[in-house]
Structure 1
Amino acid sequence: MRKKLLKTVRRYYNRVVNSIAFYPAVIALVFLILSYIVLTLDFSEFGKELKSQWDFLSLKDASTARTIAATIAAGILSLTVFSFSMVMILLNQAASNMSNRVLGSLIGNRFQQYVLGFYIGTIVYALFLLSTIRDIDSGIYVPALSVYLLIVLTVVDIFLFIYFIHYITQSVKFETIIARIHQETKRELENNSHLAEESMERVPVFTQGQELKAEASGYFQGFDRKELLRLCKEQDISVGFVFPVGTYVLEGVPFLKVSSLKPVTDEQQAQIRLLVDFYRGESISNTPYYGFKQLVEVALKALSPGVNDPGTAVLSLHALVDLLAFRLRNFAYRLIKDEDGVVRIVTVEDSFRDIFMQTLLPMWDYGQSDRVFRTEMKKVLDQLHVFHTAPEDHALIEDLRQKVKQKIQEEA
C-alpha cells in the first residue's frame, strides 16, 4: 500500500512541479510567512523601541499605512493580470504557429514563474498587512517596518516588470523557443550518453525471462532507478525493458522481462510495477527523444501551407542535425549496474537509425518541394556525411543525401 501511494505521489509530483502555478504558489506561501515574521518584529518590544528611537521608521497615521498597502495591492494585481495575459498570448502564438508540443517547455520556464510568483507574493503580503493595521494614536503600534518593506518589494516588482517585458518579447521569437528545446535535449543526451560503446558480455539473458504485461494502455515514462536497482539487488533478479521511454504500450502487451533463478512471485511483480511509470506527457527530462519529436513537429508545422515559414523549419533542421551529430558520436547508456558491478537493469534506447528515420525523413518528405529547405538540407547532410560512423549509419545518411541532390538537380 505504501509503495502504491509513493508511485501515485511520484506521478502527480511530476505534473504539479511542471505546472505553471507551482512556483508562484510556493513563492506566495513564502511571502505569507515573511509577512508574519515582519509583523511579529513590528509589534515586538524591539520593533517598538526601534520605531520610537528612529522617527523616520514610524508612521503616525494608520490610514496612511492602510492607503499605501491597498494602493500597492491593487497596482501589483494589475501588473499580475497584464503579465499573465502576455504569457497566455505567448502560449497561444506558439501553439498556433509552431506546435502544441512546445507548450511544455514554455510553461516550465522558471523565470516567468518566479516573476509571477513574486507579484502574487507581494499581493499576499500587502493583503495580510492590510488586515493588521488598526487606528491607534501612537505611531509605534502601526506596522511601519512592514509597510516600508512592502514599498521596497513594490520597487523590485516594477523593475521585474520592466525586465519581464523584455524577456517575454524575446521568448516569443521562434529561434528562442527552438534554442531552448535544443539546449534541454542536448543536456539530457549528454547525461545519458558515453563515448565508447558499452560491452554487452555481461548482459542478462531474457529469452526465458518472465514477462510483465501492461495492466492498462499508456505512455511508458521511465522508472524509479534507485528503488528498482535496490529491489533487483535484494531479490537477486535482473530486469530488461522491452520498449524505449516514450513508447505507447497497449494493455496486455509485455513491457518488461525478469531474469531470475527462481520463479518470480506475484508480490515481486507488484513491487516492480509500482516502480514503473505510465502516464501522459512529453517532458524532455524523461527522455531526450521527446526533444527530437518536438523539433520535428515545429518544422512540419512551419512547412505547412497554412504557416509557410521555411525559415523556422530551417532553424529546427539545424538544431536536429546538431543533436544527431552528437548522437552519432556517442552511445546511450543501456546497462545499469549495482555497486558490485552486476547488471541489474537493461533499457532500450532508440538507435541513430531510428532517430534519423523518425526526424529527417519526415521533414524531407514534407519539405522537399521548398527550395530554401532543400538547400539547407543538402548543406547539413554534406557536413553530417564527413563523420566516421558505422557503415549502416553512413549508408543511411548517404542515401538521403543523394535523394536531396537529385531533387535539387531536377528543380534546377
Structure 2
Amino acid sequence: MTEKIRTYIRRYYTQVVTSIAFYPAVIALVFLLISYVMLNIDFSEYGKSVKSRWDFLTLKDASTARTIAATIAAGILSLTVFSFSMVMILLNQAASNMSNRVLDSMIGNRFQQWVLGFYIGTIVYALFLLSTIRDIDSGVLVPALSVYLLILLTVVDIFLFIYFLHYITQSVKYDTIIDRIHKQTRRRLEELFPLEEIPKNAMLAFMDGYEVRATASGYYQGFNHKALLRLCAQNHWQVAFLFPVSAYVLQGVPFLKVHAPKSVTKEQEKELRLLVEFYRSESIQISAYYGYRQLVEVALKALSPGVNDPGTAVLSLQAVVDLLAFQVGHYPIQTLPDADGDARVFIKEKHFEEIFEETLLPIWDYGHEDRILQLEMERLLRQLQSQTASQENIACIQAFLAQVQQKIGERT
C-alpha cells in the first residue's frame, strides 16, 4: 500500500506543481500566517508599548482601520480579477494562433503565479485583519502595525501590477513563447543527453524475456529509477524498456521485457507495474521530445492558411535545428547499473534520425512552397551538417538537403 501511495503522489506531483493555482495557494497561506503573527505582535505588550511611544504608529479610530482594510481588500480583488482576465486572454490567444500544447509552458510560468499569489495573499491578509478590528476607545488596542503593513503590501501590489502589464505584453509575443519552449527543452536535453561520446553499452533486447504488457492504452512517461533498480537487484533481474518516453502504447502491447533467473510471479509483475508511469501529459520536464513537438506544431500552425505567418514558422524551425545541433553531438545514458555496478535497466531513446524526420519533415511538407522557409531550411541544414561527425547523420542530412535544393532550383 505504501508503494501505491508513493506512485500516486509521484504521478500527480508534476500536475499539481505546474498548476496555475499552486503558487498562489501556497503564498496565500504564507500571508495568512503573517497576518496571524502581526496581530499577535500588535496586541502584545511590546506592540502596545511601541504604539504608545510613537504616536504616528497609532490609529485612534477603529473605524478608520476597518475602512482602510475593507477598501484595500476590495481594490486588490478588482486588480486580481483584471490580472487573471489578462492571463486568460493571453492563453486563449496563444492557443488560437500557435498551439494548445504551448499552454503548459505558459501556465507553468513562475512569475505570473508569484504576482497573482501576492495579490491573493494581500486580500487574505486584509480580510483576516478586518475580522479582528473591534470598536474600542484605546488607540493602542487597534492593530495599527498590521494596518500599516497592509498599506505597504498594497503599494508593492501596485508596482507589481505595473510591471505585470509590461511582462504580459512581452509574453504574448511569439518569439518569447518559442524562446521559452526552446530553453526548457534545451535544459531537459542537457539532463537526458550528458555524454559526448557514444556509450559502450547498447540497448539490450531479451528475445526470451518475460513480457509485461500494457493493461490500458496511454503515454509511457518513465519510471521510478531508484525503486526499479532496487527491485531488479533484489530479484537479479535485467529489465529492457521497448519504447522511449512519450511513446503512446496500446493496450495489450508489451512495453518492457524482464530477463529473470526464475519465473516472474503475478505479485512481482504487479509490483513492477507500480513503478512504471502511464498517464496523459506532455510536460517538457518529463521528455524533451514534447518540446520538439510543441515547436513543430507552432510552425505548422503559423504556416496554415488561416494564420499565414512564415516568420513565426522560421523562428520555430531555428529553435528545432538548434536543439538538433546539440543532440547530434551528445548521447543519452541507456544503461542504469545497481549499487554493485551490474547493468539492470536498459532504456530506449529516440535516435537522431528519428527526431530529425519527425520534426523537420512535417515542417517541410507543410511549407515547402514558401520561399522564406525554403531558403532558411537550406541554410540551417548546411550548418547542421557541419556540426556532426557521424556518417549516418551526415547521410540523413544530405539526403534531405538535396531535396530542399531541388525544390529551390525548380523556382529559379
TM-score interval, smaller chain:
over 0.9
1:4 to partner: Cα distance: 1.5
What does residue range 347-358 of structure 1 map to in structure 2 within 5 Å? 347-358=347-358
Partners of 2:40 and 2:292 lie apart in 1 by: 53
Secondary structure at the residue paired with 1:385?
Answer: helix
Cα drift, residue 5 of structure 1? 2.1
What's the offset of the Cα at 1:280? 0.8
Q: For residue 215 of structure 1, report the CA deviation from its aligned partner.
A: 1.0
- 1:234 Cα shift? 2.4
Residue 33 (structure 1) shift: 1.0
| Counterpart contact for 1:239–1:344, Cα < 8 Å | yes
| 1:249 and 2:258 matched | no
Amino acid at match of 1:245: V
Match of 1:225 in 2: 225
Report the Cα distance in structure 2 between the residues aligned to 1:234 and 1:111, rounded to whole angstroms: 45
Is 1:198 the counterpart of 2:199 in the alignment?
yes
1:8-407 pair list within 5 angstroms: 8-193=8-193, 194-200=195-201, 206-407=206-407
Question: Is the CA contact (8 Å cut-off) linking 1:7 and 1:275 kept in structure 2?
Answer: yes
Give distance in 2, aligned partners of 1:404 and 1:164: 44
Cα deviation, residue 389, structure 1: 2.8
* Distance (Å, rounded) in 2 between the aligned partners of 1:179 and 1:205: 38
How far apart are the structure 2 equivalents of 1:310 and 1:42?
Answer: 61
Q: 1:191 and 1:388 mapped to 2: Cα distance?
A: 20
Q: CA deviation at 1:235?
A: 2.4
Q: SS of the counterpart of 1:329?
A: coil
Does the 8 A contact of 1:204 with 1:343 survive in 2? no
Q: Distance in 2 between matches of 1:53 and 1:344?
A: 71
State the 1:204 CA deviation.
5.4
Do the aligned residues in 2 keep the contact of 1:204 with 1:238 (CA within 8 Å)? Answer: no
Give 1:222 shift: 0.9
Which amino acid counterpart does residue 195 of structure 1 have in structure 2?
A: E
Distance 2:351 2:213 in 1: 24
SS of alignment partner, residue 284 of structure 1: coil
Moved more, 113-122 or 207-216: 207-216
SS in 1 for 2:251: coil
- Residues 298-356 of structure 1: CA deviation (Å, up to 9, x unaligned): 00000000000000000000000000011111112211112321112111100000000
Q: CA deviation at 1:230?
A: 2.0
**C-alpha deviations, 1:24-67, integer Å up to 9, x for none?**
11111111111111111111121112211121111110011001
Q: Secondary structure in 1 aligned to 2:328?
A: helix
**TM-score in terms of structure 1 length:** 0.98
State how far apart, in whole Å, the 2-side matches of 1:205 and 1:310 are.
44
| Distance in 1 separating the partners of 2:223 and 2:164 | 37
Query: TM-score, with normalisation over the residues of structure 2?
Result: 0.98
Deviation track 1:119-144 (CA, whole Å, cap 9, x = no partner) reads 00000000000000001100111111
| In 2: Cα distance, 1:187 partner to 1:76 partner | 37
SS at match of 2:11: helix
Partners in 1 of 2:214 and 2:113 — Cα distance?
36
Amino acid at match of 1:303: L
Secondary structure at the counterpart of residue 386 of structure 2: coil
Quote the offset at 1:396 in angstroms.
1.0
2:133·2:142 contact (CA, 8 Å) conserved in 1? yes
Equivalent AA in structure 1 for residue 313 of structure 2: A
* RMSD, matched Cα: 1.2
Q: In 2, distance between residues paired with 1:100 and 1:108?
A: 14
Deviations 1:88-142 (A, max 9, x none): 1110110011000100000000110010000000000000000000011001111
Within 2, Cα distance between the matches of 1:233 and 1:83? 52
Q: Distance in 1 between matches of 2:339 and 2:301?
A: 47
The total of aligned residue pairs comes to 411
Moved more, 148-157 or 7-16: 7-16
Q: Mean Cα displacement is larger for which, 322-331 or 388-397?
A: 388-397
CA distance in 2, matches of 1:170, 1:238: 50
Query: What CA distance in whole angstroms lies between the structure 2 residues aligned with 1:64 and 1:29?
Result: 26
**8 A Cα contact 1:24 1:118, kept in partner:** yes
Q: Percent identity?
A: 65
Instruction: Give the Cα separation in 1 of the matches to 2:337 and 2:166.
Output: 47
* 2:7 aligned partner: 7
1:354 counterpart letter in structure 2: E
For residue 68 of structure 2, give the secondary structure of its aligned residue in structure 1. Answer: helix
Please give the alpha-carbon distance, in whole angstroms, between the structure 2 residues aligned to 1:252 and 1:204.
Answer: 22
Q: Is contact 2:201–2:334 with CA below 8 Å preserved after alignment? A: no
Report if aligned partners of 1:30, 1:121 keep a CA contact under 8 Å in 2. Answer: yes
Is the contact made by 1:296 and 1:359 (CA closer than 8 Å) also made in structure 2?
yes
User: What secondary structure, in the 3-state scheme, does the structure 1 residue paired with 2:387 have?
Assistant: coil
Query: Counterparts of 2:223 and 2:150 in 1: how far apart (Å)?
Result: 45
Q: Is the 8 A contact 2:222 2:245 kept in 1?
A: yes
Give, in whole Å, the separation in 1 of the partners of 2:6 and 2:216: 19
Q: Secondary structure at the match of 2:240?
A: strand
Query: How much does 1:236 deviate?
Result: 2.2
Q: Secondary structure at the match of 1:331?
A: coil
Which string of whole-angstrom CA distances, capped at 9 and with x for unpartnered residues, describes residues 179-234 of structure 1?
00000000011111110111127x65522211111111111111111222222222
Which moved further from structure 2: 178-187 or 48-57?
48-57
